[in-house]
Amino acid sequence: MACSSFDAASLGAKEKEARPTEFQIACMTLPYSQFPLQRALSGIQSAGFRFLAWGTTHREVAGGERVPLMPVDAPTHLAADLAKQCRDMGLQTLMMFSTIYPEDPKGVEVLTQRIKQAAAADIPQVLTFGHTEGGSRALWVERFKQLGPIARDHGVLLVVKQHGGSTGTGEACAEIVREVADEGIQVNYDAGNVMDYLNVDPIADIRKCADVVHSFCMKDHRNWPVDQDCGPGFGEIDHYRLLHPVALTGRRMPLCCENLFAPALARPDKPEGIDALARHVREYLEIVVQGVQTQVG
């Protein structure tokens, strides 16, 4: 009985000391991949966002090939220059895609370069994820143990999200992160992917990894009337319940919108249509965040 009382008192003290999470609602450039990067940036700005995430390619010329937003081999000063350009537009970049799987033969080399680019650009997080068919957990742990100190030395977090296969849930990603046990390696949560690839309930899953979640790739998912990823608020995921387990972390938490689109409808063929969806999603998430913080405040 004494032990139970002590545990309850400790839990109460922790809850009292906990500070609200500072949710940062960002838009990825990814939904604008059919259009030039500059049009993506101006559209995100016009939709009222203050935060941004880079990823991954853009069609700079109508009908042309997509080109990398930031090539892997680009010198770090180019990343710094682009980030400054974004800041001059009122957009702070919070995350960039690594564009490589951790198990790739060049995984450590490329992820190290991405960490250096992010550090030069003052981008706090680099995102990676596994192959949809899964990978070697032992190899992931080995490589993340190499990369963790590099990330910390550069003031960057390397975050890993769910992408089907053996790392398709937050629970699985968290087990790897806890085994690595390095503050430079954390979890990014992608509820849409968890529901899409494995048909797992993200509301139950996030409770198994909330302690190591440091950001989100925001997308929703519907199983009906079509099985399709979509923008936050257009699907079946309850975002109030999704964010509640991480509402008292006391840290900044990027919510990076990877998908803006409505299910069962064709995607806009003009950037103005994406602008309108971006604004809608931002306003929806702002209301959700306010509601979540009211419940825990």
Q: Where are the beta strands (DSSP E) in the chain?
A: 22-28, 51-54, 57-59, 66-68, 92-97, 125-129, 157-161, 185-189, 213-218, 220-222, 228-230, 252-257
For 51-60, write each residue's pLDDT tens digit: 999 999 999 9
Contact 33, 66 (CB under 8 A): yes
Q: Which two tokens stand for residue 226?
A: 């079509």
53 Cβ neighbours under 8 A, 6+ residues apart: 26, 27, 28, 29, 30, 93, 94, 95, 96, 97, 127, 254, 256, 258
153 within 8 A of 189, measured Cβ to Cβ: no
Domains of the chain: 19-296 (3.20.20.150)
Crossing angle of the two packed helices 76-88 and 107-121, in degrees rounded to 10: 40
Question: What confidence score (pLDDT) does residue 16 get?
Answer: 47
How many other β-carbons are positioned within 10 Å of the β-carbon of residue 239? 24
> What is the chain's pLDDT, residue by residue, as a tens digit (297 residues)?
334 333 334 434 454 468 999 999 999 999 999 999 999 999 999 999 999 999 999 999 998 999 999 999 999 999 999 999 999 999 999 999 999 999 999 999 999 999 999 999 999 999 999 988 877 899 999 999 999 999 999 999 999 999 999 999 999 999 999 999 999 999 999 999 999 999 999 999 999 999 999 999 999 999 999 999 999 999 999 999 999 999 999 999 999 999 999 999 999 999 999 999 999 999 999 999 999 999 876
Give the Cα-Cα-Cα angle 237, 24, 108 (nearest 5 degrees): 90
Q: What is the pLDDT of residue 297?
A: 65
Exposure string of 243-280, with b = 16+ CB inside 10 Å and e = fewer, is bbbbbbbeeebbbbbbbbbbbeeeebeebeebbebbbb
What is the predicted pLDDT for the residue at 17? 62
Residues 202 and 217: their CA atoms lie apart, in Å, by: 13
Q: Is the pTM for the entire model greater than 0.85?
A: yes
